[in-house]
Amino acid sequence: DTAVSQTPKYLVTQMGNDKSIKCEQNLGHDTMYWYKQDSKKFLKIMFSYNNKELIINETVPNRFSPKSPDKAHLNLHINSLELGDSAVYFCASSPDWGTGAYNEQFFGPGTRLTVL
Amino acid sequence: EDQVTQSPEALRLQEGESSSLNCSYTVSGLRGLFWYRQDPGKGPEFLFTLYSAGEEKEKERLKATLTKKESFLHITAPKPEDSATYLCAVQAPGNTGKLIFGQGTTLQVKP
């Protein structure tokens, strides 16, 4: 199936731990994104990469570090996890990065992170 | 400041009862307005993109329209399977592809 996939789907961990979330897309898109959705379902951009180059880096703590080994993968590593990091994290991809007319973003199923 | 506001926050309809969801936006130079559907425990699913005032798009029972200040998602004769949260987003100015989302409208359609 052509899609955006994320692993793991659920992640429960203790405060202070370091964890990673992986994302892969097989849609042939050039741009990938990380979003955070809080308990009120508000979806906010964190990072975006275009062909392995960082494009968007919102006001996100330095504990969050994205890594893009190739244009089909974008991983998110989080150091020293805090209670406030609990949320659902979504990966997305799009054919373009805003320069063109078409920028429909396609989302993965999400990773629910719970920090205890 | 660029922002998106959706109303109502929640909407309950009887099956077959048509209604509209509103998305008001403030952005300097609209480059695209997007509608998504999100089911519980899943990622947002792309529905429509609108680029200019007056544009309309349809998909089954859904029709999206756009003016210079707001967009409407009209739901005609909804069915229980249309129950979901509907998210509206605008593309921020500049060439980054950044989407600014509203808080969503949670729709419940009862049989």
Distance (Å) from the alpha carbon of A16 to chain B's nearest alpha carbon: 26
B79-108: average pLDDT: 91
Domain count, chain A: 1
Q: How many contacts, defined by CB atoms under 8 Å, are there between A and B? A: 71
What does chain B come to in residues? 111
**Chain A residues closer than 8 Å to B34 by CB:** 104-105
* Host H or E run for residue B25: strand B19-26
Question: Coil, strand, or helix at residue A85?
Answer: helix
Nearest to A73 by CA among A36, A21, A110: A21
Cα angle A75, B4, A111 (rounded to 5 degrees) comes to 25
Q: What is the CA radius of gyration of chain A?
A: 14
Cα angle A71, B86, B93 (rounded to 5 degrees) comes to 55
Residue-wise DSSP of B51-89: -STT-EEEETTEEEEE-SSEEEEEE-S--GGG-EEEEEE
Residue-wise DSSP of A25-65: E-S--SEEEEEEE-TT--EEEEEEEETTEEEEE-S--TTEE
Q: Is A96 on the interface with B (CB under 8 A)?
A: yes
**pLDDT tens profile B29-62:** 888 899 999 999 999 999 999 989 999 999 999 9
Query: What's the confidence (pLDDT) of residue A76?
Result: 97
Question: pLDDT tier at A59 (50, 70, 90 boundaries)?
Answer: confident
Q: How far apart are CA B48 and CA B75, in angstroms?
A: 14
- Mutation for B interface: A103, A106, A111, A112, most B CBs within 10 A: A103
**pLDDT tens profile A5-53:** 999 999 999 999 999 999 999 999 889 999 999 988 889 999 988 888 8
Kindly list the structural domains of chain B, giving each domain's residue range(s) and its CATH number in brackets, ordered by start.
3-60+67-110 (2.60.40.10)
Nearest CA in chain B to A105: B46
Amino acid found at B97? G
Mean pLDDT, chain A, rounded, equals 90
Distance (Å) from the alpha carbon of B53 to chain A's nearest alpha carbon: 15
Chain B residues within 8 angstroms (CB to CB) of chain A: 31-32, 34, 36, 38, 41-46, 49, 51, 85, 87, 89, 91, 94-101, 103-104
User: What six digits make up the tokens of B57?
Assistant: 């798009």
Cβ(B33)–Cβ(B23) below 8 Å: yes
Domain of residue A66: give its range.
4-115
Q: What is the CATH number for A56?
A: 2.60.40.10
Q: Is A100 on the interface with B (CB under 8 A)?
A: no
Q: How far apart are CA B30 and CA B68, in angstroms?
A: 9
Which whole-number Å values give the CA distances from B3 to B25, B30, B52, B69, B90, in the listed order? 6, 11, 18, 11, 8
Is B97 in Cβ contact with A103 (below 8 Å)? yes
Q: How far apart are CA B53 and CA B18, in angstroms?
A: 23
